[in-house]
Every structure is written in C-alpha cells, then in structure tokens.
A and B are shown apart, each in its own frame.
Chain A
Amino acid sequence: MTNTQPKMMRLALGPLLYYWPRDDVLAFYEAVAQSPADIVYLGEAVCSRRHEVRLNDWLDIATALRDAGKEVVLSTQVLIESGADVTVLHKITANGQFMVEANDMGAVHCLEGKVPFVAGPHLNIYNVPTLQWMAALGIKRWVMPLEMGRDDLALLLAGCPPGVQTEVFAYGRMPLAFSARCFTARHRNLPKDDCQFSCIDYPDGLLMRTRESEEFLVLNGIQTQSARVHNLLPELPAMRDMGVDVVRISPQSRQTVRIVELFQAVIQGQMGVIEASTELAALMPEKACNGYWYGQPGLEQVAATPEQV
C-alpha cells in the first residue's frame, strides 16, 4: 500500500513581500528556522529602494537557514527597470550557492542552461507547451500563476515533464499587480524617488477600501495585493492527490509560523481540515477567498465540497 501513496507535499515560505524593520526581519527568520517550513524563499522581490536588509544580509540569512536544514531559494525582483536593478539581478543569479527563483524573463535568461532554477509565479506559464519549453531551459520547479484554477492545473500536471516540481501559492494576500508607480508614496503625497520608505509603516500593506467600506485591495509600494487572504488549506488533500509537490505560504506580520504549522499538521494527517481551518481563520488579517482555484473571480469564497468535510 505505501508505495501507492502520493508523495508528501512540502511546505514553502514565499519571499517576504512587505518592508519590515531590519530587526523584525532577522527575528522573523530566526523563528522560521525553527518552523516546519521545508523551503524558504528569500530576498527583495518588490522594490529596489528598500534597504533595511541588503543582499549580503539576505545571503547571511540564507546561510543560517540552510544550516538549519532548509532548502533556500533567492527570489529576484519582479519588475526590473534600471541598470542598477540589472546589476543586482546579476549578483543574485551568479551567487553560486543558492538556487534562484526567476521572477522575470531577464532572470530566466541569466540562469538558463547554467543552473537549475525555479520559475516564479509571475512568469505566466499557463499551458503545457510553454511549461515543457521552459522545462527544457533547466527549471527544477515552476509556480502556478495565481489566476490559474484546479482544472487547468490538472492539465499542466499531466503534461509536466518528469523531474520538474509543481508549486502552488496556497496562503496569503495575493500579489496581483506591479507598477512603475508607488501607491504607498502616492497615498502620502510623496514622489517615489523621495518615498521616505513609507512602506515600513504598513507591515501587512496599506488597506484600500471601496467607498462603501468593503476591504478591496492592499497597497504595498509598487505592488497591489488582494485584501482577502487566498486560502487553499482545505484543498490540501486534493492537491496531494493531483500531484502538487510544494505549497507556498506568503509571510504576514503575525503568526506566520503558526500558519506553517497548521498546514504541516494537515499535510501530515495530524490535524483535520476543519479543525485547522477554524484556527487559521482567526489568524487571517482579512476574510478568506479561494475563487481562482475554482475558476471563479479570485475574491470569491467557494464553499467546501462535501468530500472535504
């Protein structure tokens, strides 16, 4: 029986998308080192102006986490605009020690044919021909686009070349859009070039409401996130059965390690989905959504199917 069991899914902690004070970042990753996360993505993926933790610091954190037994991956910036951005990109892709998550095709170009890498969630791999073509460049793992649902994922899993792992963004406010403009600075009436690093005041981003006070989006510098928390914890058994290899949890300012533990408990069968979901709901900064998974608008929450409960 055991050899017909699907393999155990692994847990990844996505890159920190917010701008936290340096000490908070260091304390966070000290806690992560003790957590059940198998894989940790590190680095500044959002804004090149953020400097509380610099590349050398990220490499120190990476070393410490690797020593703690984690698989460490360095994430590249999603929007690369300036020559300086490209220079940082080169440093990351040529780091020689840690695997890299490519978050734009420039990063892919720096990595292809040289070292195995992760194709990040913003590379727009929506179909089998593209996945197979990308796989030939040397990807070890690809991350499903946020917009993709389970039906399309099943098709991609069926066409996924052997040896290439599949990762799904399974918990957190979703990074839905990127811009040249900084919306946090705009809120403060500051130009981006003199933003006064305003993001540091919003450890979970800056909530944007509709005019009838519905929590809608979250401004995180040049990134726009969903206000609702994408939560696929109830789908963990389905994902395991489909053959998903890795599920990603996106860091938030509070209780991230506990969230990782809850996912781990469900994956290992130590806790039921209902029990874990009940505790998880209290840890979310906003109500949950899962619409994308069911092919619906992303902000919707589709009720659990009978076989899940």
Chain B
Amino acid sequence: MHRLKVVHNPTTMMNTILDNSLVPPLAAPVAASMELVCPAGSLPALKAAVDNGADCVYLGFRDATNARNFAGLNFDEAAIAAGIRYAHERGRKVFVALNTYPQAAKAELWQRAIDRAAHSGVDAVILADPGMMAYAVKHQPQLRLHLSVQGSATNYEALDFYYQHFGIARAVLPRVLSLTQVEQVLEKTPVEIEVFGFGSLCVMVEGRCALSSYVTGEAPNTNGVCSPPKAVRWVETPQGRESRLNGVLIDRYATGENAGYPTLCKGRFDVGDEHNYYAIEEPTSLNTLSLLPELMRIGVRAIKIEGRQRSPAYVAQVTKVWREAIDSCRANPQLYAAKPAWMSSLDKVAEGQQHTLGAYHRPWK
C-alpha cells in the first residue's frame, strides 16, 4: 500500500534546494522515501510549509478533537478545503490530526470529525483511540489511518495490535525510544514509522501524561491541551516575575532572565536539599538533524516537525532547513553533516533557544 514518493514541484521550492530535490530516487531508494511532515495551525502556516518544501502538512479542526486545541488556531471547513487544494495542486499531502480521546458525553463529535475529514479529501487521519479507528474502518474504509503519538505505541507488539485490527499504514513513535530501540521496532513491524525531528520536547510518554489535568483540569488526552493559556497567570513580585498555572507556582524569574511559557514539567522546583532546578526537564527543543543519516539508514519513513501552535514564520524557517537537510542527506549520506547555519537558525526558534537529542541519545535519559 505504499504510495509513490511525491515529486516536489520545483516552481514552489526554494532555490537552495532545487538541485537536491531532483536527485533520481534510484540513487538511494531507502533515503528517497523519507517524508517531511510539517505543522499547520492556520492556512498561512500551511502555505508556508508547502512553499518551503514540506511533503506533508498536518492540521486539526477547530475543537477538542486534536491535541493543539488553542484559541485562534486550527481550521474550519473553508480553510481546510483551501488548504487541501493548495497542497494537492503542488503534489503534497494533508493529514488531519484527530488525536485526542473522545470524551464520554460527546463521542459523536469525534466521529463526525472522521466523516468531515474523509469528505474533505485528506490523505490520512492521525488517530489515537481504538473506538475511533473502529469507526473509521467501518464507516470510511477508504481513509488511510496513522496512529498518533498519543496512542503511546512504543514496541512492535503494540504496533501489531493496531495494524492487525485497523490496518494502520503508519505510526508516530513517542519521543521515548533510543535510536537502537527505534531500529528494533522497525525490524519487526510492517507499519511505516514516523518520528519527531524537531520541536518542543515532551519529556513524558505521549498519551500517558495527566499532569496538566492534575493542575488545571485539562490535558492532552481529554482536551487537546497541555498547561492551557487560560490557566496561566504572570505575577510581578519582589522576588521576581512568577508564572503560575491555576495558582501553582511553576517558575520564578530573576530580573533579566528570559521567562518561558509555564509548561508545568519545564518549571524549576525543589527536591530534597536541591533547590530551584529543572527537576523534570529544561525548556528545550528536540533537534535530530545530526541523526538524519542514521534515521534514513534504519528506514524511518517520515520526520515530523512539532509546532502547530507556532507562527507561519516558524513553520517556514524550520521547514526550509529540514528540506535542505533531508535533500542533502539523501544525495550523499556519507558526506552529510548538520550545517552550523542550520543548527543556529533552528536554535533561534527553539523553546529555550537550545536543543537536545532527547531519548534518541541514551545519556539524556
């Protein structure tokens, strides 16, 4: 069921990557099949992704059915139709994320979203909930299904579960596996594997984290949000500027310190006699540019860029760098190296202005 690689339309590509995008696929058959999957929180972001070389764009409806359910973000019917037209005219794909868990009182909202996605002509839906998958298989059997990272599938048995029951074509792996572990999974599954390449880093297993609802009542699984803006308060105090989430002190910044968004696992806390440290995780972004040859070698099918909540400028910047990197690596994996210019331009838009290899690099754990 693998679809052929979409050939980039040179008229929409940046000059810098024209040459690489024309390398014949046969030169490196495995590498040639890696897709760049970019986020779109709005129509301008979708266009930025497409114009800068995304193979696929993923987006969500304007409600709790997707995991970036923020005010002012996401797509209504008109925008999704325009977005799909824009992408398809240029040979790119559109995925719709319906990757929260339907809540008991309104499960039909989620089922309707599957129907809406199918009727709009998207190339795949990204799902996490088995009930949703069963509905899609029964009512929209032509829909291509991707298992969301929120499905928490970290091993081949779990992937096989979704593959056998629902015929999922692809799965997005949680950001918890080392490179070796990703390779072990790939060796044993017929499912295409998509991994996160860049963006804000969830330190917890996606789909297995209720920290946000513990503090605010709303979380990714249930509401499609983490540390929601409506629960955030900034307070100026004699000790410094405080960020609070539903009243809980997440961080306190000294004068001149950069204040970050109070994602609750990225605050500074006290444990034992160690005070004021990032007990769980620093504000940082995942950046796997340097691992690209390895990810291609082991057969990763797609790289996902995080950030549907980010601006079109972010999407353009990150997509452009990753397009160039993937094409460079595909053309000559032996000589590939992540260019300092790429890294610095990504660091500028990274959370905390710094990056990590995360779990791919074992010592991080």
Contacts and interface: CB of A to CB of B under 8 A. Distances in A.
A217 B205 CA distance: 17
A129 B127 CA distance: 15
Given A82-B181, A181-B365, A295-B217, A219 B279 contact: yes
Interface string B277-298: 0011100000000000000000
Contacts of B203: 179-181
A296 B275 CA distance: 30
Contact of A81 (B155, B160, B268): B155
Interface in A117-145: 122, 124, 126-134, 145
A134 B210 CA distance: 22
Given A127-B101, A133-B134, A224 B211 contact: yes
* Chain B contact residues: helix, strand, loop or mixed: mixed
Most buried by B among A151, A174, A186: A186
Given A156-B104, A177-B208, A124 B154 contact: no
Contacts of B362: 191, 193
A132 B107 CA distance: 13
Interface stretch (B4-12, B33-41, B244-252, B347-355): B244-252
B155 to A, nearest CB: 5
A34 to B, nearest CB: 34
A299 B214 CA distance: 5
Contact of A183 (B210, B250, B279, B364): B279
A31 to B, nearest CB: 29
B187 to A, nearest CB: 10
A4 to B, nearest CB: 27
A298 B275 CA distance: 25
A178 interface: yes
A79 B154 contact: yes
A176 interface: yes
Interface in A143-190: 145-148, 151-152, 155-156, 174, 176-183, 186-187
Interface in B203-221: 203-205, 207-211, 213-217, 219, 221
Interface in B120-145: 128-132, 134-135
A147 B222 contact: yes
A178 B208 contact: yes
Contacts of B215: 297-299
B205 A210 contact: no
B270 A208 contact: yes
Given A112-B161, A219-B280, 19 more contacts: A80-B158, A81-B154, A81-B176, A82-B184, A83-B184, A104-B155, A105-B151, A126-B222, A130-B102, A133-B134, A148-B104, A155-B104, A174-B214, A179-B176, A186-B279, A193-B365, A208-B270, A292-B213, A298-B214
User: What are the 4 closest A-B residue pairs judged by CB atoms, nearest first?
Assistant: A106-B157, A130-B131, A129-B131, A180-B176
6 contacts: A81-B155, A104-B158, A152-B103, A182-B365, A211-B275, A216-B269
Interface of A: 78-83, 85-86, 89, 104-110, 112, 122, 124, 126-134, 145-148, 151-152, 155-156, 174, 176-183, 186-187, 191-193, 206-214, 216-217, 219, 224, 226, 291-292, 295-299
